[in-house]
Structure 1
Amino acid sequence: MIDDRTPVIIGVGEASERLDDPGYRRMSPVDLAAAAAAEALAGGVHVDVVAAVRQFEISTPWSHAPLGRADNPPRAVAARLGQSPARAILDVTGGQAPQRLVTELAGEIAAGRADTALVCGAEAISTVARFAGADDRPDFTEHVGGQLEDRGYGLDGLMPPRLAAHGLLDPPGQYALFEHARRARLGLSEAAYAAAMGALFAPFTRVAAGHPHAAAPTVRTAAELVTPTPANRLVADPYPRYLVSRDKVNQGAAVLLASVAAARRLGVPPDRWVFLHGHADLREKPVLERPDLSAYPAAVAAVRHALDVAGLALGDVDVLDLYSCFPIAVFAVCDGLGLAADDPRGLTVTGGLPFFGGPGNDYALHAIAETVRRVRRAPGTYGLVGANGGFLSKYSVGVYSAVPAPWRPGDGAAIQAALDRVPPVEVCDDPAGPAVVETYTRKPGQDAVVVGRTADGRRFVASCAAGGDLLGARGTVDGVAFSRDTSRPPAA
């Protein structure tokens, strides 16, 4: 017996277009989200709640929309579908948002506060980049109005001023720090670590090549991915372009949830129902306060808790999609779980953000859609989606299966409290004296930015004009600059 209030996913949809597609239509983000939502609804479903993933164009105070935007994205999508939901939500910034919204709205359905809910999102970044300065540019402006629960940017703690002062507000720059920190922990050379990144992502390209909505469906070898060329230029050491999330895409996705009672009333057959067996939403410390810059304990704890809620072990999962904006986002979760980078199940169902595409904050909604399709096709199987936001900052996890299961609330607050109790690293504003480099990155034509420790163990950020591999480099820090002492060997 399944309780009538049990939430189930009854529909998923995706939409995309490429600039060189025959019949390319210059669709807006609302157009793409509505097309995906129409596929998810596939019938006369009245939706009580529509929640939209925040577009990149409105994800920070300094973002802008060159082609214009809708003032109420969820209601703009709903209007195209002939819907007038009682509640519209625009979530905070971050790639965790799709999974977090699915979990939240499943809980709302279980509590009886809604019967149906739609989560949607889309980006048209490729079209915006192409037409931003064109005379014939489309106008994506829409004035919809109406109720909107706008949750704001949600950027607290995600923009460290010390990193910003050195030009590292961008994801490649900050993720590169985590990547080199992991290389330091493993004791690998630059060449050996590059090979590992290529080996991780080469199978992702094969998955992307078979996905109809992939932005870059091209199979590449591990060596191709990590060898700099004019087409694969260095973005931020150690990342050439092929290892970086591909944001120039036109993609949309949607997930439709309903109570079991509503699903029956709508005539959705039980073999189309997919249950959220487990879930978790956890947050990491601010970047510079983390004891280990190569690790992601909040993500590892989120995966473990979601599996505990589901009553499963990692080995019980048949389908995995680990958020893959950069290699470290996958490596850090695998390291913490003891999961091999070449696990035979594969680590992506879409091809991942550099190859399938990274539609702003909305990638995980595509991963959920594909996971739902896979567990439907193979009754009795389980799929896990991990969604990352910020700078390895927020992690949301969902465990899916067509196997019936009751709604189970989690105990994320207790786990979050335990994560928060770990003592933070003290950050130094005016470092001076002997110091050692923990990690670094270097952008083309610029000095390196190093993160290191002073003699008393405090962490600092500084620039460094020295070339070469700086991991473990010893020297002197003076305010915002680090000078390498070439007469001393690197720290172990």
Structure 2
Amino acid sequence: NDNLPIIVGVGQVVKQWNGLELNEAPNPVDIIKEAIEVALCDASDVGLKEEIDYAAIIRTFPDSLPMPYNPFGKIINLPAAVLQGLKIKPKNVLYTSAGGEQPQFQVSSISEKLYNSEIEFAIIAGGEVNGALKRAVKLGAKLDWASNEDFSITDNGPKTDFITEYELKNGLGLPPQTYASMEDGLRARLKMSVADYAEYTSKILSNLSEVASKNEYAQFPKYLPSSFLSIPSRSNYRLYNNYLKWSMAQDAVNQSAAIIITTVRKAKKLSIPQEKWVYLHGYSNIEDTFVTHRPDISKSDAISLVINKALKTSKLNPTDIEYKEIYSCFPIVLILASEVLGVDPTQECLTVTGGLPFFGGPGNNYSSHGIAALVESLRKDRGAFGLVLANGGFMSKESSGIYSTKAPDDWSVIDNKDDQRFVDNRPSVNLLNEDCKAEIEGFCLKYDRDIPQSGYVIAKNDKGRILAKIKTNNHKMLKFLSGDLDVVGKTAKFSYEAGYNYIVDLNL
């Protein structure tokens, strides 16, 4: 089928800027341009810029914030600045919404457009220079990143509506503080103590770091043993009850990646070598509801559904997948994906990059690197299959894709309506604002200098679920929850005061 979508070019860039030479500081426009140039060169020695009729630029982290942060000047239109700088003139340009699922989602969406002959030649690209930004701000350096380049694009806006007012008022917020309670619920479901879970996740993370240590595009290419990762130290200090510094995505990176996608017909016409071709087989995209609305905070129906749908539509079993690139912002995503695949995450290689803590977490664009690295692995191991799981928000949006140099026997646009309907039609959870008693499902503590400063608890009873803060002056509760005793499954007493829920006592 000449309409089959194929990836024909990939490019990655990393900059290890030390902050000394200001003229060498990476900037957000140039680093994305460089990745596109690398991807185009990877696809062919012949000029391909004029062939591009569709471009999807992954939204940068600064443009994903409610109030964009631009200490070195505003970039009026990032996609325009990137594409005009390269003299690329697509008919359609998309600036995506925020979310780590976006790279895989865009591959799937663009593949559908290619298959339906709506477009012929597309690029996906993104990048972050948060490392340079943080270093320059700390040094008091003055950089100029401003750009007035502009033309008409489709801007999807951030769409970062991953959290409700109820959740914000009562404790959820930034990714680590939100994931921490789900991680705690998972720990309890796995029947592990706090110490055992720390050791378990550290083995998983150490395996990621080993891959990163051998990756030329990694921002932090250093192997870290599980003995280091499991124990708090000056260089691996505690930030949350389940997370030390190196347990989570690191955003101080200067990285970019680009992907070139076209059809078999167009690749033949342009004489792009067949050894470059990598096919998308099955794929899936699902949106989950808000964290407090989910039936079980220790599980993700969305992760299960997208992995299983990708396997089913590829006509594959989990054992057929040789390469796995699982999103790794926090250990829970790796573990839940492993449950679906039926593998032991401490023994299985779950990344081809090194993961977000060690390869680096370039905002919404990380999985572009994952796809690029997977493409390179599959080109060397011809006929093997690789799986990408990309995660957005608080496991709010999931996208999966299965790839191979082997062409699919048949290909069609995949319908996720039944899976999405299953998620949307789950029984609703009644959220409580009242004095009550409830059984703890998970909790979060935020630390500063090894001392818990704030936190919240999620709990359930026969009437519904309650999310409740820990008062910052309730030092006894903060200290108790930071101890070794497992409180998940224990009954707690809650009070409703002036519009907020608080935990006031524990019945042990």
TM-score, normalised with respect to structure 1: 0.94
| Structure 1 counterpart of 2:68 | 63
Give structure 1 stretches of 5+ with no counterpart. none
- What is the CA–CA distance in structure 2 between the aligned matches of 1:433 and 1:384, rounded to whole Å? 45
Query: Deviation of residue 337 (structure 1)?
Result: 3.4
Q: Is residue 114 from structure 1 mapped to residue 105 from structure 2 by the alignment?
A: no
The residue identity in structure 2 corresponding to 1:112 is: S
Aligned residues of 2:19 and 2:136 also touching (Cα < 8 A): no
Cα deviation digits, residues 317-363 of structure 1 (max 9, x gap): 1100100001011112222332221344x100010000000000110
| Structure 2 counterpart of 1:449 | 456
Cα deviation digits, residues 53-82 of structure 1 (max 9, x gap): 111101132332222343222222222222
Aligned residues of 1:29 and 1:123 also touching (Cα < 8 A): yes
| Greater mean alpha carbon deviation, residues 131-140 or residues 4-13 | 131-140
Q: How many residues align?
A: 482
| Greater mean alpha carbon deviation, residues 139-148 or residues 381-390 | 139-148
Cα deviation digits, residues 458-492 of structure 1 (max 9, x gap): 3333326312343233231001211223xx43xxx
- What is the CA–CA distance in structure 2 between the aligned matches of 1:154 and 1:326, rounded to whole Å? 22
| Structure 1 counterpart of 2:439 | 436
Aligned residues of 1:452 and 1:459 also touching (Cα < 8 A): yes
Cα deviation digits, residues 154-205 of structure 1 (max 9, x gap): 223x122233224531111011011100112122111011111101111111
Q: Is residue 256 from structure 1 mapped to residue 260 from structure 2 by the alignment?
A: yes
Q: Is residue 402 from structure 1 mapped to residue 409 from structure 2 by the alignment?
A: no
| Greater mean alpha carbon deviation, residues 370-379 or residues 454-463 | 454-463
| Structure 2 counterpart of 1:477 | 494
Query: Deviation of residue 20 (structure 1)?
Result: 2.9
| Structure 2 counterpart of 1:10 | 8
Aligned residues of 2:13 and 2:257 also touching (Cα < 8 A): yes
The residue identity in structure 2 corresponding to 1:366 is: H
Match of 1:131 among 129, 136, 157: 136
Query: Deviation of residue 301 (structure 1)?
Result: 0.7
| Greater mean alpha carbon deviation, residues 349-358 or residues 179-188 | 179-188
Q: Secondary structure at the match of 1:214?
A: coil
Query: Deviation of residue 426 (structure 1)?
Result: 1.2
RMSD, aligned α-carbons: 1.7
- What is the CA–CA distance in structure 2 between the aligned matches of 1:218 and 1:137, rounded to whole Å? 30
Query: Deviation of residue 408 (structure 1)?
Result: 2.1
The residue identity in structure 2 corresponding to 1:389 is: G
Q: Report the CA distance shift for 1:452/1:231 in structure 2 as closer, same or farther (over 3 A).
A: same
| Structure 2 counterpart of 1:105 | 110
Q: Report the CA distance shift for 1:255/1:381 in structure 2 as closer, same or farther (over 3 A).
A: same
- What is the CA–CA distance in structure 2 between the aligned matches of 1:133 and 1:358, rounded to whole Å? 20
Cα deviation digits, residues 384-439 of structure 1 (max 9, x gap): 110000001111011111112243211211111112111122111x2212222211
The residue identity in structure 1 corresponding to 2:100 is: G
Q: Is residue 32 from structure 1 mapped to residue 37 from structure 2 by the alignment?
A: no
| Structure 1 counterpart of 2:280 | 276
| Greater mean alpha carbon deviation, residues 321-330 or residues 260-269 | 260-269
| Greater mean alpha carbon deviation, residues 17-26 or residues 267-276 | 17-26
| Greater mean alpha carbon deviation, residues 62-71 or residues 93-102 | 62-71
The residue identity in structure 1 corresponding to 2:377 is: R
Q: Secondary structure at the match of 2:82?
A: helix
Match of 1:199 among 196, 203, 206: 203
Query: Deviation of residue 118 (structure 1)?
Result: 0.2
Aligned residues of 1:449 and 1:461 also touching (Cα < 8 A): yes
The aligned runs of 1:324-343 (5 Å cut-off) are: 324-343=328-347
- What is the CA–CA distance in structure 2 between the aligned matches of 1:343 and 1:311, rounded to whole Å? 25
Query: Deviation of residue 135 (structure 1)?
Result: 5.3
Aligned residues of 2:170 and 2:467 also touching (Cα < 8 A): no
| Structure 1 counterpart of 2:376 | 373
The residue identity in structure 2 corresponding to 1:390 is: G
| Structure 1 counterpart of 2:311 | 307
| Structure 1 counterpart of 2:327 | 323
The residue identity in structure 1 corresponding to 2:90 is: P
Q: Show structure 1 runs of 4+ deviating over 6 A.
A: 21-24
Query: Deviation of residue 276 (structure 1)?
Result: 0.4
- What is the CA–CA distance in structure 1 between the aligned matches of 2:19 and 2:33, rounded to whole Å? 19
The residue identity in structure 2 corresponding to 1:270 is: Q
| Structure 2 counterpart of 1:178 | 182
Give structure 2 stretches of 5+ with no counterpart. none
Aligned residues of 1:160 and 1:287 also touching (Cα < 8 A): no
